[in-house]
Each structure stands twice: as structure tokens, then as C-alpha cells.
Amino acid sequence: MLAKEAYIALGAVGKNYSIEPFLDSNNSYHTMRLRWYIPCSVKYPRWSSIFGILSVELWLFLIMSIVIAAISTTLVGRYSCTSEWQGYKTLTSSLTNVWSVILGESVSTMPYAPPLLSLFLAWVCFSLAFSTVFQAFLTTFLVDSGHKKPIQNIDELYESGIKFYCLPEFNYIFENGKETKVSNVQNHHANCPLYWDCIDWAKYHKNDSILFSDLEMELYYAEGDMLGENSEPFLCALDDGVVYNEGLRLVMLQGDQLMRGVTEIIDRVVEAGLYNFWISQYLHKFKVESRKISLVHPLDEYYSFNLYHMQPAFYLLLMGWCLSALCFMVELLYNRVLSKRK
């Protein structure tokens, strides 16, 4: 432009490029928002989701109910006059029977005395209601285990301790910012060998946040670089994480006679919505070429439930079989040792 070989500078030109006295700019045609993008919330592991079916209070209540039911059964069984209910006169046998009922298994001996039978019937009803609710929630959690609580605001981002990274060309933003924000960014700055290394750390290791412009992030989403195998996003925008708003504009030489005409044309293009239309067409082109268009599944649609979701159930079943086989072997060896001693 100084050599009179170019008369207009266009593209991602902000007001920081037009502070030279020999340059002038037209009205802004796009507002570029620079904000912090953080790792999106991840799903709970399916094993931990099983324990999340009930709250801590309900798990404690269930344990207390089992203990109280076993103690009550033992006390009622001991006061029985006949020897038919020997399986209910010791705490170990009562606890075994109570545990069998809540798992939906049969007990070794059915009680017949009215007091013990009433107590046993009440426990069967409680176990039936609990197991029905537990299995319903278990199926739901196996299909969708839920997400961990994400970072919701900039204060939580500072307290999380994760690293911050921004391109060197955006360092001017933090030179005149608040001292607390500048110190937080500088003290937790991520030292990445390459730009894409920091992006990979944020995507796969969830240990840093990156400063992006909204339009740049939309382009990455359109190209599929920020989407996983199931079209889930890797990085999410922080609502109050905007650190800088910058209006993009055209830059021309000071006093250029074409400035007025160019400004009028740009204003008409923006007011007619052509600029937004061109951007949407540009992003749509990348979406088609990347073949990673994100698909949103409403909650009321059919959800494919397959054996993958039942892996924890099969693991628990295998664990139970192994434990049962181990108990059987121990009992068999114990009986053989006792028979030899006799």
C-alpha cells in the first residue's frame, strides 16, 4: 500500500491494524469474538454410573435396612419354640436369607411361624419394589451414563488449574487487561511445542483451554477436526469466556477518494445479509467435504440398545460365577478336611 501497488487490505483485519496515521478503515462488517474454549464434559464411566443410580443416603439406607432386617429375623427366629426354623436363629443364616431375597433368589428354608412369616413377607415386598426401581434405573444408566459436571464460568475455569493457551498474535489483548486476569493466564500458560499440540492436549487429555475466535471454531467444526467418532464436540465455548470483541473491516490509505463508495457498498452487503450467507455457504462446503456432519438425536427418538451397553452386567455376572465357584471349592475342601479329622 505504501508503494501504491495495493489500495485495499481485506480479510481478518481488525482495528489494531488500522492505527497507523496513513491508514483509514471503513465500517465493521463482522464482529470477531475471541473466547476461551474448554474441554467438553465427558461421560461417566459405566462402572461408576452404576454406583450413581442411588445417592449416598439411599445406599446407606439400603445397608441399614439389610442389617436391621437380618437382626430382626434372627431375634424373631430365636424366640420360636420349634426347631424348624434353625436357618433363622443365627445372624449369619438370617443375613444370607435376607441377601438372597433382595437379589431375587430363593432361600434355603421358608418360614412358617406367623411372626417370622409376616416379617419375611414385608421384606419380600420391600425387595421387590427396590429391585424393580433399581433395574429400571440401571438400564437407563447403561444406555446413557450421564456427563460429569462441566466448567460453567470463567471463575471456575481459573480455579480448575488447567492451562491457558493463545496464539502469540493475541498477546496484545492481555497487555492492557485486568491484572488478575493477566496474572492467571500468564501463571497457567501452556508451553506447547506446536499450535496443534495444544489443541490435541485439550481434545484428548482435557488439560488446557484455548483462545479461539467463534468463526475459526465454526470452521474447525465444519471440517470435522473438533468432532469425535460419534460427532460429539471436543471443545465447548465458555459462555462468559469472551475476552475481546473486534470488528473486522477493510483498510485503505488515508484520504483515498474511493473510501466513501467502498464503505457504502460494504454496508449494503452486510445489511442485505449477503456476508452471512457467504459464510454459511463456505462452512457448508467444508461440512460436505469432511463428511462429518453432526447428527443430533432427540431424547424421544429410538435409541439403539446393544450388547455393548450390557458389558457391565456381563462382567458382574462373570464375577458372581467366579466367586460362587471359589466358595464351592473352599466348602468342598473344608468338608474333606473335616471328614479326615473325624
Using CA atoms, how far apart are residues 280 and 288, in angstroms rounded to an integer? Answer: 12
Q: What is the CA radius of gyration of the chain?
A: 34
What pLDDT score does 45 carry? 64
What pLDDT score does 309 carry? 63
Average pLDDT, the chain: 77
Q: What value, to the nearest 5°, has the Cα angle with vertex 76 and ends 75 and 80? A: 115
Q: Quick check: 258 pLDDT over 70? A: yes
What pLDDT score does 300 carry? 46
CB 2, CB 21: distance < 8 Å: no
CB 320, CB 256: distance < 8 Å: no
Helix (H) or strand (E) holding 209: strand 208-213
Q: Which residue has the higher pLDDT, 296 or 143?
A: 143
pLDDT tens readout for residues 151-181: 778 778 777 778 888 777 777 777 665 655 6
CB 143, CB 309: distance < 8 Å: yes
* pLDDT band at 314; cut points 50, 70, 90: confident
Max CA pair span of the chain? 116
**Least confident among 52-66, 183-197, 254-268, 323-337:** 183-197
pLDDT tens readout for residues 220-232: 888 877 877 767 7
What pLDDT score does 209 carry? 85
**Least confident among 179-188, 243-252, 292-301:** 292-301
* pLDDT band at 111; cut points 50, 70, 90: confident
Percent of the chain having pLDDT more than 90? Answer: 2
The 10 Å Cβ neighbour count of residue 306 is 7
Q: Which residue has the higher pLDDT, 179 or 282?
A: 282
Beta-carbon contacts of 27 under 8 Å, excluding residues fewer than 6 positions away, are: 249, 263, 266, 267
Using CA atoms, how far apart are residues 179 and 32, in angstroms rounded to an integer? Answer: 24
Q: Which residue has the higher pLDDT, 277 or 43?
A: 277
Q: Quick check: 301 pLDDT over 60? A: no
What pLDDT score does 299 carry? 43
Helix (H) or strand (E) holding 241: strand 235-248
pLDDT tens readout for residues 53-83: 777 888 888 889 989 988 888 888 777 655 5
Question: Measured between alpha carbons, how far is residue 320 from residues 18, 317, 326 in Å?
Answer: 72, 5, 10
Q: Quick check: 294 pLDDT over 60? A: no
What pLDDT score does 297 carry? 43
Extents of the domains making up the chain: 36-42+149-243+292-305, 46-145, 309-342
**Least confident among 171-180, 203-212, 220-229, 282-291:** 171-180
pLDDT tens readout for residues 4-51: 788 888 776 665 555 567 777 878 888 888 888 888 877 766 666 566
Using CA atoms, how far apart are residues 248 and 167, in angstroms rounded to an integer? Answer: 18
Using CA atoms, how far apart are residues 312 and 308, in angstroms rounded to an integer? Answer: 9
* pLDDT band at 182; cut points 50, 70, 90: low
- Determine whether 89 is exposed, middle or buried from the number of CB atoms within 10 Å of its CB (0-12, 13-18, 19+): middle
Q: Assign domain 36-42+149-243+292-305 one CATH number from 3.30.565.10, 3.40.190.10, 3.30.830.10, 1.20.1250.20.
A: 3.40.190.10
Q: Quick check: 298 pLDDT over 50? A: no
Beta bridge partners of 213: 34
Using CA atoms, how far apart are residues 20 and 18, in angstroms rounded to an integer? Answer: 6
**Cell 462382567 sits on residue:** 315
The 10 Å Cβ neighbour count of residue 77 is 23
Hey, is 87 helix, strand or coil?
A: helix
What pLDDT score does 221 carry? 82
Percent of the chain having pLDDT more than 70? Answer: 79
Chain-centroid distance, C-alpha 287: 25
CB 208, CB 202: distance < 8 Å: yes
